[in-house]
Amino acid sequence: MIASLSKSDPEDSNKIYCFAVKRDAKGSKRSEFNGNKAHLLRSSLFEKYKDDDSISFCFSNNKGVEKTDSEIMQSFSKNH
């Protein structure tokens, strides 16, 4: 399932390591693709932000930048 989802990634199918969440531009919403990918790859993090569709999940193809849920949430709260 993850491989299939990643292959349809419009940017880079190797981006599977979550390193941040971001607030989308005013009036913009998280894409269904981004939500589904986060739900599959980082379900615990997705659960924390699922009800706010103005927050998107950031993925990288570099495993070295992957962050824990706590690190991501702490960074997001500092910036917002």
pLDDT at 1 over 70: no
Q: Are 80 and 58 in contact (CB under 8 A)?
A: no
Q: What is the pLDDT of residue 4?
A: 64
Q: What is the pLDDT of residue 3?
A: 63
Bridge partner list, 59: 18
The helix, strand and coil proportions of the chain, stated in percent and rounded to the nearest 5, come to 45, 15, 40
**H helices present in the chain, as ranges:** 2-7, 32-41, 43-49, 69-79
Q: How open is the CA angle 69-74-75, to the nearest 5 degrees?
A: 100
pLDDT at 56 over 80: yes
| For range 71-79, the mean pLDDT | 94
